[in-house]
Structure 1
Amino acid sequence: MLIAAIFIALLLMICINVPIAVALAMCGVIGLFLTEGADSLVTIALDMYGGSTKFSLIAIPMFVLAGAIMNAGGITDRLINFVTAIIGFIRGGLAMVNIGVSLFFAEISGSAVADVAAMGSILIPQMKKRGYSKEFSAAVTSSSASLAIIIPPSIPMILYAASANTSVEQLFVAGVVPGLLGAAGLMLVAYIFAKRYNFPTEAAFNIPRLKETFIDALPAFILPVVILGGIFGGFVTATEAAGLAVLAAIVVSAWYRNINFAHLRRAMLDGGIQTAVVMLLVAASVLMGGFLTRAQIPQQLAEGILSITTQQWAILLILNVFFLIIGFFLHSAAAIILVIPIVIPLITAAGIDPVHFGLVVTLNLAIGQQTPPVASVLITACSVARANIWEVSKVNIWFVGVLLAVLMLCTYVPSVPMFLVEYFYR
């Protein structure tokens, strides 16, 4: 009865716009006080501090900062020029450039909101100017930005690894193939739209132009080499790679000598706020997690579902539906921090690989970023495009379908995401 009351109180506070971190902390404190008395509250400040100072979490502000430096240093513009030279000649080429640049930017920032804010402010106006509808422009920018939490590095993956006590490096490796499949699927849908609505092509394919833009963008390619090469090669941890990414972004921006300090300052402030929100969520989740663990809710949930079925495919189906639903209402960080500690005992009991499940969770939350009412990434894209969210959603549903297909493939054919993990680590 107390558990139900605590969760109802949590939902009510979220519905009246109490910050999720504050709601989590309040409910956790109330639960601990009612079950164990005031003595259990003596160490809550230390518990919250300890929970939010894990070494792996330091990667979050570092990747956010690297993305900010990259965008302010003119690196993004050079990537756009290079990708345009490669695929701009295809019908609807600018939409594919949008997806291709998001694929690259995803390897730096790890944040879909940062991706859509950076790419959208540059590409959406250009797409509208060339005859693309504002709804299509917002949809393709929003859906491709969600590649940022599938392809390494990924802030939700870092949070999942910290919550599930699993390897963030293995999660990063598992995200590579699904991210590439997602990008290919999004490009296919964009091409179908382009043929149907006769969207324009960019400049004809030109080898000298391709060579020129490649040489100009060459220093920028240092960034994914540093991050992915270091992690895949086993030379650095994800956190160390984040620090190196910042250093590499500074060096490359200095090479180009056109860094916009006003833009950098604004991006760093936004990144600091985003990081603070995430860390406050992590700290607050420690209190709620302590209460749930002592009340043995995760164990009871595992026993309840396993009493219905022990088949892994059925358990994954139940959890997929569950995460798709909560993705409608919670941001990815909040969903991971709130739910993962509860379901991990079920995953362990069912014999499901926690790295595989982490990728499944990440894909679910990538879809959640595109589905109203919360849809943080979609809302950001609509804001940049000045488009109605529901009109954009009518177009975006086809791109969301691609992400859903990748989710089903990775859920029930685990070798797709896991064969690289097996090759590098097992």
Structure 2
Amino acid sequence: MLSTFGVLGFGLLIGAPVAFTLALSGLAYMTAAGEYPSTFASYLFGALNSTTLLSIPFFILSAEILNRSGATAKLVHMVDAWIGHNRGGLPVVAVLATIFFSMICGSSTATAAAVGSVMIPEMLARGYKRPFSVGLIATAGGLGIVLPPSIPLIIYGMITETSISGLFKAALLPGIALSAMLVLFAFIAGVRSGVMPSPKQSRAVRLQRTREAGGVLLLPIIILGGIYSGYFTPTEASAVACIYALLIALLVYRTPWKKVPAMLTLSASTAGMIMLIIAAASLFSYALTAEQLPQRIFEFISALDLSGWQLTTALMLFFLLLGMFLEVISVILITMPILIPLLNASHIDLTHFAILLILNMELAVITPPIGLNLFVISAISKVPVMEVFRGTLPFIGAVLIVLLGLMYIPGGSWLTIGW
């Protein structure tokens, strides 16, 4: 087992891709244990042999289609036409746009990139300060992993054998609460900035912008309505979303066919990266299970005799630290096989814990040194990563309020499992 953690630690230390580090860690264990080479291939294939995982590339592709067809820009312009004339209105527009896109996409980085490419230049042009503009989008983009259809929640459901539809339902109210907090923080900061609002749009312009974005507005209703009503599984909903996004791109927004190959290529690249991490993590999990590490950790923590809230607090601090160095999918795949027995024995609901974990990872995506949203926003805005991070600091409080509320306020769990 020493060789496994040695390879893992060395790979993370030198900045090697997480997927390759995990795969080599598992391979090191198999080699040391004298396993047959075919075991390596069988675990890689077995980890991906799931219909549930098909939802990931479909959701990513639907988001890519909407972004490249100009549908995201139409959505932003519609919201701006209705509320952009109010003081502090444009930052609120930015948050609302991320909310809509998050309910289509399931990825924080894709949400931040799609909305940021439209909103950051607009906010800068209207006079908002650069750190505020990039920090707001980086933080709000994290809603992509909180609101359904969250890709990390899909993976969590697979690992823990928890209903994915149930996880989506549990994430809805906390996601709305976090969205409301971010809207409030954005409004206050926008008013204090002193930037004058844009002129009020006429009713005719508002209606025209709404018609132009109407096809996008229907997509979250189709996805979530189909899942919650039982008409679609999450996988089927992702396929329907993909087909619908392609149809409105081609028929409504007149996207040329020659742009479709680029959409397919970019979404396949992103999905391939996620799938590779999932497959590699199965090898690492195999090594942990074979050495009975989860059981040993369970016995050690059980001996500490922690109460449920004490254990949850310790785990949240652990996840916050881990999230600084690993992205959310890797965190789930590495830790949850170890923690499931411990959570069950401590009578901590796996669905409620999932929402706490995802909210924690909302902080991770905007925390150096590995916060992915920081790098995405830095890349599209040409702003240094640490300046983006400084811009997120005023909005971290919104995430902490919701996370701590779910953890410690009596009845907080009702938002996830009580309704």
Under a length normalisation based on structure 2, what TM-score does the superposition of the two structures give?
0.94
The alignment partner of 2:41 has SS state of: helix
CA separation in 2, counterparts of 1:161 and 1:150? 14
1:165 is matched with: 161
AA matched with 1:372 = P
Q: Is the 8 A contact 1:74 1:258 kept in 2?
A: no
CA–CA distance in structure 2, aligned partners of residues 220 and 318 of structure 1: 41
Q: 1:312 aligns with which of 280, 297, 308?
A: 308
Do the aligned partners of 1:108 and 1:224 also contact (CA within 8 Å) in 2? yes
Tell me if the contact between 1:177 and 1:417 (Cα under 8 Å) persists in the aligned partners.
no
For residues 224-263 of structure 1, the aligned pairs below 5 Å read 224-259=220-255
Q: Which residue of 1 aligns with 2:22?
A: 24
Superposed displacement of residue 413, structure 1: 4.6
Q: Is the 8 A contact 1:175 1:417 kept in 2?
A: no
Displacement of 1:415 in angstroms is: 5.1
Alpha-carbon distance in structure 2 between the residues aligned to 1:203 and 1:24:
53
Q: Distance in 1 between matches of 2:113 and 2:370?
A: 17
- Within 5 Å, which residues of 2 pair with 1:203-352? 203-204=199-200, 206-259=202-255, 264-352=260-348
The answer (yes or no) to whether the contact 1:174–1:418 under 8 Å persists in 2 is: no
Supply the distance in 2 between the matched residues of 1:52 and 1:117 (Cα, whole angstroms): 27
Give the whole-Å Cα distance in 2 for the aligned partners of 1:418 and 1:221. 29
1:43 aligned counterpart, secondary structure: helix
Take 2:208 and 2:345, find their aligned partners in 1: how far apart are those partners?
A: 55
- Which of 407, 411, 414 is the matching residue for 2:407? 411
Unpaired runs of at least 5, structure 1: none
Distance in 1, matches of 2:192 and 2:221, equals 38
Alignment RMSD: 1.9
**1:420 offset after TM fit, Å?**
6.4
Cα contact 1:20–1:281 (8 A) shared by 2 = yes
* Residue number in structure 1 paired with 2:384: 388
Task: Give the structure 2 partner of residue 12 of structure 1.
Answer: 10
Say whether 1:118 aligns with 2:114. yes
Q: What amino acid sits opposite 1:23 in the alignment?
A: T
* TM-score (normalizing by structure 1): 0.93
The answer to whether the 8 A contact 1:178-1:417 is kept is: no
1:365 aligns with 2:351: no
Structure-1 separation of matches of 2:256 and 2:358: 33
The letter of the residue matching 1:11 is: G
* Number of equivalent positions: 419
Which amino acid is 2:24 matched to? M
Structure 1 Cα separation of the partners of residues 413 and 251 of structure 2: 36
User: What SS class does the counterpart of residue 175 from structure 1 fall into?
Assistant: helix
Q: Could you report, residue by residue, the CA deviation over 1:71-111 in whole angstroms, capped at 9, with x for unpaired residues?
A: 22232122112211232122222211111011000011111
Judge conservation of contact 1:356–1:418 (CA < 8 Å) in 2.
no
Pick closer, same or farther for the CA change 1:17–1:180 going to 2, 3 Å. same
Aligned to 1:145: 141
Judge conservation of contact 1:120–1:141 (CA < 8 Å) in 2: yes
**Matches of 2:64 and 2:298, distance apart in 1:** 41
For 2:259 and 2:320, the matched residues in 1 are separated by 35
- 1:38 corresponds in structure 2 to 35
Tell me whether 1:61 sits opposite 2:57 in the alignment.
yes
1:53 to partner: Cα distance: 1.9
Cα pair 1:74 1:256 within 8 Å, conserved: no
Q: Deviations over 1:322-369 (max 9, x none)?
A: 110011000111111111111111111111111111111111111100
Give yes or no for contact 2:352–2:416 (8 Å, CA) kept in 1: no
Contact kept, 8 Å, 1:87 with 1:93, in 2: the verdict is yes
Q: How far apart are 1:138 and its partner, in Å?
A: 0.7
Residue equivalent to 1:73: 69
Question: CA-to-partner distance for each residue in 1:263-297, whole Å, 9 max, x for gaps?
Answer: 55434322211111111111111111111112111
1:197 alignment partner, one of 174, 190, 193: 193
Give the Cα–Cα distance (whole angstroms) in 2 for the partners of residues 420 and 304 of structure 1: 29
